[in-house]
Amino acid sequence: EGQTDDVLRLEDVTKQFGNVTAVDNLSFAVREGEILGFIGPNGAGKSTTFDCVSGTMAPTDGTIYYRGEDVTGRPQHELVKAGIARTYQTFRPLNDRTVLENVALSQVPDSLFSRSDFRADTEEQTREICERVGLGDVTSQMPDELPHAGLLRLEIGRALGTEPDLLLVDEPFAGLTTEEIERTADLFTSLRDDGMTLVVIDHNMHGLLELVDRVIVISFGEKIAAGTPAEIRNDPTVQEAYLGG
Ligand code: ADP
Ligand code: MG
């Protein structure tokens, strides 16, 4: 029974792999219409948290609420239909499909997992998404023809194809040039301005702090700080976690 403007709320979420505790009693909320930064050193448990929220895997313990409803352990295709989309750190395009088809197929939630056929009735919307993510000129190319930044755009385009209202983006800035980072950040800001809620992971604080409205910092699976970018930048606990990591 959280505040009504929480889109997502994690309560004491834990994920264990054998005796490795990847996420450790983690609680935080994501507010409607914000860009939340989710940062922490490599291995801190960021991607595993996304895995739990997006239904890629179930948490070992704890509860996840989406718009007030307990969705803990629901399968990913149900969560996609409910409005939660994510990208993966290691891109997952359909390699035997064009850019356009990749985005089109994501508009059929089940096709994320079983490849159903291209639907012509979604083509116009698909083209709009391709243009929005900067792939408007390369819609007939195959994924392996795209540079790294193009593959990132495709990953985001495929997530947008599901018409999410909560978009989880896993380390989008890794391997991008400064210019591409700015373009990608502008895309996130424009999605937020259209009413979408975003959570963006980075293992680095710099760059991300310019973009986000609020930040959660985790280390060894636990939340160590939360606040505005200005608060986080000067937080000694955060600096220590980064120096120690
Ligand atoms: P981050 O995304 O913050 O870099 P991860 O969530 O990928 O961190 O990983 C957190 C911890 O969980 C790491 O110690 C990692 O080795 C471990 N881990 C992640 N996924 C698995 C898995 N499928 N099986 C076993 N251990 C895993
Ligand atoms: Mg990760």
DSSP 45-103: SHHHHHHHHHTSS--SEEEEEETTEE-TT--HHHHHHHTEEE--SS----TTS-HHHHH
Whether pLDDT at 117 is above 70: no
- pLDDT tens digits for 147-181? 999 999 999 999 999 999 999 999 999 999 999 99
Cα separation of 50 and 229, whole Å? 21
Band of residue 4 on the pLDDT scale cut at 50, 70, 90:
low
Fold held by 1-83+166-245: Rossmann fold (3.40.50)
Q: Whose CA is nearest to atom 6 of ligand 1?
A: 45
The ligand 1 atom nearest the CA atom of 49: 6
Whether pLDDT at 112 is above 70: no
Cross-sheet strand order for the sheet of 222-227:
84-86, 166-169, 197-202, 35-39, 214-219, 222-227
pLDDT at 131: 97
Amino acid identity at 167: L
- Of the candidates 232, 54, 70, 88, the residue with the CA atom closest to the CA atom of residue 156: 88
- pLDDT tens digits for 54-101? 999 999 999 999 999 999 999 998 999 999 999 999 998 999 999 999
pLDDT at 240: 87
Whether pLDDT at 220 is above 50: yes
Whether pLDDT at 118 is above 60: no
Cα separation of 37 and 226, whole Å? 10
Contacts of 243 (CB under 8 A, 6+ apart): none
The ligand 1 atom nearest the CA atom of 51: 6
Whether pLDDT at 244 is above 80: no
Neighbours of 140 (CB within 10 A): 10
- pLDDT tens digits for 127-154? 999 999 999 999 999 999 999 999 999 9
**Ligand 1 pocket mutation pick from 39, 42, 48, 173 by most atoms within 8 angstroms of CB:** 48
- pLDDT tens digits for 13-22? 999 999 999 9
Whether pLDDT at 110 is above 50: yes
Q: What is the DSSP letter of 139?
A: T
Among all chains, which residue has been given the structure tokens 């502008």?
A: 186
Band of residue 2 on the pLDDT scale cut at 50, 70, 90:
very low
Q: Whose CA is nearest to atom 5 of ligand 1?
A: 45
CB-ligand 1 contact for 17 (6 Å cutoff): yes
CB-ligand 1 contact for 41 (6 Å cutoff): no
- Of the candidates 180, 178, 117, the residue with the CA atom closest to the CA atom of residue 146: 180
CB-ligand 1 contact for 15 (6 Å cutoff): no
Q: Where are the domains of the chain?
A: 1-83+166-245, 89-163
CB-ligand 1 contact for 22 (6 Å cutoff): yes
Q: Whose CA is nearest to atom 21 of ligand 1?
A: 17
Backbone angles phi, psi at 201, to 5 degrees: -90, 140
- Distance from Cα 173 to the centre of ligand 2, integer Å: 12
pLDDT at 5: 74
| ipTM of the complex, rounded to two decimals | 0.99
- Distance from Cα 205 to the centre of ligand 2, integer Å: 14
CB-ligand 1 contact for 60 (6 Å cutoff): no
